[in-house]
Amino acid sequence: MAETFRIVFNKENQAYRIYLGNSRYLYLGKVSETVAMAIQSRMQSDLALGQFDATLERYKIDNPSKLIKQVPKRDIKELSLEEFYQVWIESLNLTTAKYNGKYLEVGKVIKRASEYKDLQKGLTKIFSEYKLGTIKTYKPYLNKFFQYCIKESYLKENPLESIKLNPVKSSKDNIKPLTKLEVNKIIDLFATKYPYYRDLTEFLFITGVRPSEALSLSWDKVNFEENYILIDVAIGKDKSLSPYSNRKLLKETKTGISGKIPLSNRLRELLISRYANYLKGNRNSKNLIFPGLKGGYLDWSKYSVKWKAVLTELNIVYRNPYQTRHTALSYVASSQGLLAAAKLARHTNSVTVAKHYARFTGDLELPDY
């Protein structure tokens, strides 16, 4: 253990960490220098008093503001926009996991904006590089921050109010459902070359669930008596230690809406077969329907590699695996209508489905009178 803990600032990811000696670090993330110094001071004091917590739990930043001691405050007008953003963050008492999500991403926008003398022009330039969906995601956070700036007399007005958005327009239509023939070819080749992933592939094409939802499914979500699967959670990244963590955890679905998917004959047959195999002894600690090769959550990046190889061998124009959802919803919209597709997608209205998922995938047939 080092006699003096040293603060290290990583310019590449704009994050702080504290060197503990012997190539060990305590990762703090993108906190303010004040927070980093407060934690360093506490660690140094505990070490001197013989009370140092070797597990480091005492020094993790679930609530950064509690660790900040009284320090001389600078006049807010002396702070850069980026520094004042950290003042706002500290006032929110966020958990590290929550901060490492959208707040961290928005902080990068603020950092770039602070480099412009004219804030409105800076934000206009930055937004011109983003797609509309990204801007809509960031805007509520930015609005709350700028309202805080006005309240604390850091800014006189909200710069977003007079900005005309000119987002990047995508030249590509990224939603390209597959045909029935292509779907069958893909499933068959998975069965031949990558049989471990074959059932997952068919499940995605049948149900249209998001990959993160499929990978989280456990057997207690399947009700064979009432013939449905409950979709109420998804796999996400655990950002409680680092924004770059690959550790998985369960979270709510993308839209926060749960729903039941009825079991078709084929889907029921597929799940019963897998459940029988599960009962024979091929169990995993999380009781997952589609576990990874080692029993934990399946590694989606490895699946994506296999998916690409299958499409390449079949000479099918590449689409990412999320197109399984688009394909399923397009078929339902075509055969049962937009309301049915909206229900399967768990969207509150059919407008989103019509815009994103309702695509014609078959051959055009003229009426036979």
Which residue range forms the structural domain that includes residue 294?
Answer: 180-360
Domain assignment present for 160: no
Asked if residues 60 and 96 have their Cβ atoms less than 8 Å apart, the reply is yes
Asked if residues 190 and 198 have their Cβ atoms less than 8 Å apart, the reply is yes
Check whether 145 has a pLDDT greater than 70.
yes
Domain assignment present for 138: yes
- Domain CATH number, residue 263: 1.10.443.10
Its pTM stands at 0.63
Check whether 208 has a pLDDT greater than 70.
yes
List the single range of 93-107, 148-162, 230-244 with lowest mean pLDDT. 230-244
Domain assignment present for 158: no
Instruction: Clarify whether residues 54 and 25 are in a common domain.
Output: yes
Instruction: Clarify whether residues 275 and 298 are in a common domain.
Output: yes
Binned at pLDDT 50, 70 and 90, residue 199 comes out as: very high
Return the structure tokens found at 157: 């007005």
Integer Cα distance of 329 and 260 in angstroms: 15
Q: Rounded to whole angstroms, what are the CA distances from 221 to 260, 268, 284? A: 9, 13, 15
Instruction: Clarify whether residues 93 and 192 are in a common domain.
Output: no
Instruction: Clarify whether residues 128 and 193 are in a common domain.
Output: no
Instruction: Clarify whether residues 64 and 213 are in a common domain.
Output: no
Instruction: Clarify whether residues 189 and 285 are in a common domain.
Output: yes
Question: Which of 152, 169, 192 finishes a domain?
Answer: 152
Sheet containing strand 6-10, strands side by side: 6-10, 15-21, 24-29
pLDDT of residue 170: 55
Q: Rounded to whole angstroms, what are the CA distances from 359 to 157, 175, 326? A: 44, 8, 8
Instruction: Clarify whether residues 210 and 350 are in a common domain.
Output: yes
Domain total in the chain: 3
Average pLDDT over residues 265-293: 89
Instruction: Clarify whether residues 234 and 106 are in a common domain.
Output: no
pLDDT of residue 16: 62
Instruction: Clarify whether residues 64 and 88 are in a common domain.
Output: no
Instruction: Clarify whether residues 204 and 303 are in a common domain.
Output: yes
Q: At residue 117, what is the residue type?
A: K
Pairing of strands 248-251, 234-237: antiparallel
SS3 assignment, position 16: strand
262 beta partners: 228
Question: Which of 152, 172, 193 finishes a domain?
Answer: 152
> Of 71 and 195, which is predicted with more confidence?
195
Instruction: Clarify whether residues 325 and 304 are in a common domain.
Output: yes
Instruction: Clarify whether residues 235 and 318 are in a common domain.
Output: yes
- Secondary-structure percent of the chain, ordered helix, strand, coil, rounded to 5: 50, 10, 40
SS3 assignment, position 209: coil
pLDDT single digits (tens) 170-188: 545 567 889 999 999 999 9
Check whether 168 has a pLDDT greater than 60.
no
Q: Would you list the DSSP string of 290-338? A: SB-TTSSB--HHHHHHHHHHHHHHTTPPP--TTHHHHHHHHHHHHHH-H
